[in-house]
Amino acid sequence: MSEISMTTRVTGQVQGVAYRNWARSRATALGLRGWVRNDVSGAVIAQIEGDKAAVQQLLSEMWSGPGAASVRDVQSRATQLQITDSGFKIRR
Protein backbone atom coordinates (compact mmCIF):
# COMPACT_ATOMS: atom_id res chain seq x y z
CA MET A 1 0.00 0.00 0.00
CA SER A 2 1.42 3.36 -1.06
CA GLU A 3 0.54 6.21 1.30
CA ILE A 4 0.40 9.89 0.39
CA SER A 5 -0.39 13.17 2.12
CA MET A 6 -2.23 16.11 0.58
CA THR A 7 -3.14 19.57 1.81
CA THR A 8 -6.34 20.68 0.11
CA ARG A 9 -8.19 24.00 -0.18
CA VAL A 10 -11.83 23.94 -1.32
CA THR A 11 -13.51 27.20 -2.36
CA GLY A 12 -17.06 28.18 -3.25
CA GLN A 13 -20.13 27.90 -1.03
CA VAL A 14 -18.53 25.38 1.32
CA GLN A 15 -19.12 26.87 4.78
CA GLY A 16 -22.47 26.59 6.52
CA VAL A 17 -23.50 23.65 4.33
CA ALA A 18 -22.10 20.74 6.43
CA TYR A 19 -19.06 20.35 4.19
CA ARG A 20 -16.72 19.51 7.08
CA ASN A 21 -19.07 16.82 8.43
CA TRP A 22 -19.46 15.39 4.95
CA ALA A 23 -15.66 15.36 4.41
CA ARG A 24 -15.08 13.62 7.75
CA SER A 25 -17.72 11.01 6.94
CA ARG A 26 -16.29 10.27 3.48
CA ALA A 27 -12.68 10.23 4.75
CA THR A 28 -13.62 7.84 7.56
CA ALA A 29 -15.45 5.55 5.12
CA LEU A 30 -12.32 5.50 2.94
CA GLY A 31 -10.05 4.72 5.90
CA LEU A 32 -8.15 8.01 5.74
CA ARG A 33 -6.42 10.04 8.47
CA GLY A 34 -6.33 13.79 8.85
CA TRP A 35 -8.45 16.81 9.61
CA VAL A 36 -10.71 19.42 8.04
CA ARG A 37 -11.45 22.99 9.13
CA ASN A 38 -13.04 26.23 7.98
CA ASP A 39 -10.67 29.00 6.94
CA VAL A 40 -11.27 32.70 7.62
CA SER A 41 -11.23 33.26 3.84
CA GLY A 42 -14.44 31.22 3.46
CA ALA A 43 -12.62 28.16 2.14
CA VAL A 44 -12.40 24.71 3.71
CA ILE A 45 -8.88 23.37 4.35
CA ALA A 46 -8.10 19.67 4.78
CA GLN A 47 -5.03 17.58 5.52
CA ILE A 48 -5.63 14.11 4.08
CA GLU A 49 -3.37 11.09 4.48
CA GLY A 50 -3.63 7.43 3.62
CA ASP A 51 -3.71 4.99 0.75
CA LYS A 52 -3.04 6.78 -2.53
CA ALA A 53 -6.17 5.46 -4.28
CA ALA A 54 -8.40 6.40 -1.31
CA VAL A 55 -6.94 9.92 -1.09
CA GLN A 56 -7.47 10.42 -4.82
CA GLN A 57 -11.06 9.15 -4.48
CA LEU A 58 -11.81 11.69 -1.74
CA LEU A 59 -10.18 14.51 -3.72
CA SER A 60 -12.42 13.64 -6.67
CA GLU A 61 -15.54 13.57 -4.47
CA MET A 62 -14.62 16.93 -2.90
CA TRP A 63 -15.62 18.61 -6.17
CA SER A 64 -19.24 17.73 -5.34
CA GLY A 65 -19.40 17.72 -1.54
CA PRO A 66 -22.74 17.57 0.25
CA GLY A 67 -25.93 18.54 -1.58
CA ALA A 68 -26.06 22.15 -0.36
CA ALA A 69 -22.44 22.91 -1.33
CA SER A 70 -21.42 24.71 -4.49
CA VAL A 71 -17.73 23.98 -5.06
CA ARG A 72 -15.82 26.40 -7.26
CA ASP A 73 -12.31 24.93 -6.96
CA VAL A 74 -10.32 22.19 -5.24
CA GLN A 75 -6.59 22.86 -5.01
CA SER A 76 -4.27 20.20 -3.62
CA ARG A 77 -0.57 19.91 -3.05
CA ALA A 78 1.50 16.97 -1.88
CA THR A 79 3.03 17.24 1.59
CA GLN A 80 5.14 15.05 3.85
CA LEU A 81 3.29 12.41 5.86
CA GLN A 82 2.81 13.94 9.30
CA ILE A 83 -0.31 12.60 11.02
CA THR A 84 0.51 9.81 13.45
CA ASP A 85 -2.89 9.24 15.07
CA SER A 86 -5.76 7.45 13.37
CA GLY A 87 -9.08 8.92 12.37
CA PHE A 88 -10.26 12.05 10.63
CA LYS A 89 -11.19 15.04 12.76
CA ILE A 90 -13.00 18.34 12.40
CA ARG A 91 -10.85 21.19 13.67
CA ARG A 92 -12.50 24.35 14.93
CA atoms 57, 62, 67, 71: torsion sign: negative
Burial class (CB in 10 A: 0-12, 13-18, 19+), 6: buried
Give the integer Cα–Cα distance in Å for 1 and 13. Answer: 34
Which residue numbers are catalytic?
Answer: 20, 38
Give first-to-last CA distance, the chain, whole Å: 31
